[in-house]
Structure 1
Amino acid sequence: MYELVGKASPFLFLLALALLDGVLLMFILRPQISPSTSTPPSFYSLLKDRYILVAAGSLCIASMAIGVLESTLPIWMTGTMCSPAWQIGLVFLPATVCYLVSSTLFGMLSHKFGRWLCCLLGMVLMGISLLCMLPAVTIYGLLLPLAVTGISLGIVDSSIMPMMAYLVDLRHSSVYGAVYAISDMALCFGYAVGPSAAGAIAQAIGFRLLMVIIGVLNILYAPLCILLRNPLGKEEKMALLSQDSIVPSHVRRKP
């Protein structure tokens, strides 16, 4: 649209979508708000929860990979493939469409197969897809890896967001504002650090080596999702703490 219609056309299109969405929200979405009877967990206690940190870390690293791609891939395509502007915009279409499909599909499948397993597979797929971009010399060599990238991000997002609510229900109390704030912070941190640092790093070490680093980082982080397989509940955690506080009989001093 920028090249063929004019530079204002993408922004006018987004403006129309935003206005339409605002009107629909105003007339359709009218939630009934009632005060909660549960005590909300403190933000600090959620940040100390290792399960929540692992889940937030997977969101951060997966979104960082997309942020790095969005900021460095167009420059690399311009310099190595001499791609016109419409191709640079079009190359992200497979990732966007596949993200839409996979996030919808795995929202249901992750509950069946295990959200921790889907998140692990999504991060491994993300790493492999980034590594598969290295041999590409034309835009056609990028379409399939970018499609897999969109699929993997959709898997991670649709698996981790319900996992966050499950962890709060299981280990704290059923109040979700703080934990979803942590999720948004992780996403924003990934999308902020990725583009801000990717340009300088790509200039120093090259685009291909940068993709190797981000891809390997996703693959190495993926096994941590196994920790989310059977997280301890609130009662189990309290039972373990109470057992630790009891002195074993064989170490008690005899009278």
Structure 2
Amino acid sequence: MFLTTLISAVLALTSMFHIEAKDTVAVRAGADSVQVVTKADTVKLRVPVVGISTNIPYDITWVPGYGVTSIPSFSLEVYPSGWKHFTLGADVEWPMWKHWDTHRFMQVNNITLWTRRYFHTRAYEESPKGLYLLANANAARFGIGFDDKGWQGEGLGASLGVGYKHGFGKSRFWFDTGIAAGFFYSRYDPYVYGKDGTGWYYYDYRGNIADFVPRRMALWWFGPTRVYFSVGFDFCKKVKK
């Protein structure tokens, strides 16, 4: 008797608030209760899981002695589920330009792993935005040459930085800018063009050949290590609320 009365009351309330049948998924009745499940209870959200971007200045880089060139770059930022302030990411740069006729070479393979700490607490269905701190470490190998001189080697570095990520309303596009400073340590060798008709390059070494050791030169750099103005896009997954 009680259950019949309760169901009648629920049906009366449904009519009163004009709940249409197309919005009703199911009616589950227990021993002492009735639950109406609507579409609002099973709505699917688009939750950002990863963002990709490219560094615009790298696309139009001007290098002294080389001219205007393009440094292909790709950045990936992962938004771990449940992390409200931290993200993980990686950057890759891979210019591989060779101009034998003018003796200009810009060959670099660089990979950077980083983490960010955003000050703004992000909502579950949003990607992180606003001011953040950055820490990264990178490894690179390079072959760079201008005219008859060049340098070839490998290096490691680490940096700390600060940046700001700006969204565009509900759009999945965003703009990211920042700067980092730290150190880069490299072991390298200078080389020169032989001009002997072979078209070969040689190590720039004038000592006893028996004493030659590859990567005998060392470079320490302390200062700015990265400046970026990036445009990116978020990829999402659908989840039930």
Q: TM-score range with shorter-chain normalisation?
A: under 0.3
Bigger RCO (CA 8 Å, 6+ sep): 1
Q: Structure 2 length normalisation: TM-score?
A: 0.22
Structure that is richer in helix per residue = 1
Structure with the greater alpha carbon radius of gyration:
2
